[in-house]
Amino acid sequence: MADAALVIAFDREAEGYDRGFGTNPVARLFRHAVHERLAALFPRGARVLDLGCGTGEDALFLSGRGVQVTGLDSSPAMVARAREKAAGTGCVFECRAAEDVDACAGPFDGAYSDFGALNCADLVRVGAGLARVLRSGAPVLINLLGAHPWPHSAARLLRGDGRPRGARAPRVQGVSVPVSYPTLAQARRSLGPALEWTRAWSLGALVPDPAHASWASAHPMLFAALAALEDGIRAWPLVRGGGDHVVLEGRRRSC
């Protein structure tokens, strides 16, 4: 059962999500990086899960490559928007919390979650559910909001603000939503032993986070230079945990 505040917040967000976040230059950069990896992980004909699908942008991308996607989201308005956009594509969208993934009819050939949807979920339950519905060896990609993003930490240092990320609950459409910010190690432990992790990388260790879209638009050359540099080092050990978002890649262990 999804948190009521979470559902209210993202129901309110659904109508304008694609016009706002969907056109944000930083968010588009992040999404492009994730799409490159999704394309590499999930071949044509694969049947995969999208946890926290939002308005269906990632599902539509994969569907265009011949991947069969079942998207889950706890917001009825987000699901309605995704269904509207994906009419005729074969994508399936269900109004269901990520923690209830084990209610889906598996086995699935893979799973992913983008843009921090699982920061609002119980990772222990999500991992246990994925263990039940994924086939052995199925690829998994999880994109989470990072616990200690370098740009955020630098800004706090300059302001003299000692509060870490997560000290104050974020607000979406005027509603405080429950969000946790696990480190990479904490996320791996919470998702459980049935999933093994082979790679981690960051988004937004050097470029600003999506809240600074106006800066990115005003300084396109510098933004592009930072993005290119980050692309080359995002998986380095000292960098992969320092992004506004951090990405885990792995697979379902053999049963």
Confidence category of residue 171, pLDDT binned at 50, 70, 90: confident
CATH 3.40.190.10 fits 4-252, yes or no: no
Q: What is the mean pLDDT of residues 96-122?
A: 96
Task: Quote the pTM value.
Answer: 0.94
Q: What is the mean pLDDT of residues 40-44?
A: 98
* pLDDT the model gives residue 155: 66
- Does pLDDT of 1 surpass 90? no
Q: Which residues pair with 143 in a beta bridge?
A: 247
Tokens of 182: 């696990």
* pLDDT the model gives residue 156: 62
Taking alpha carbons only, the member of 116, 112, 127, 140 closest to residue 245 is 116
pLDDT digits (tens, 9 = 90+) for 52-101: 999 999 999 999 999 999 999 999 999 999 999 999 999 999 999 999 99
Instruction: For Cα atoms 63, 32, 53, give the angle at the middle one, nearest 5 degrees.
Output: 50
3-state secondary structure labels for all residues of 60-90:
HHHHCCCCEEEEEECCHHHHHHHHHHCCCCC
Q: Report CA dihedral (91, 6, 105, 44) to the nearest 10 degrees.
A: 30
Cα–Cα distance, 119 to 222 (Å, whole number): 30
Confidence category of residue 157, pLDDT binned at 50, 70, 90: low
Q: For the packed helices 220-233 and 25-41, what is the interaxial angle rounded to 10 degrees?
A: 30
- Does pLDDT of 187 surpass 70? yes
Selected residue with higher pLDDT from 165 and 4: 4
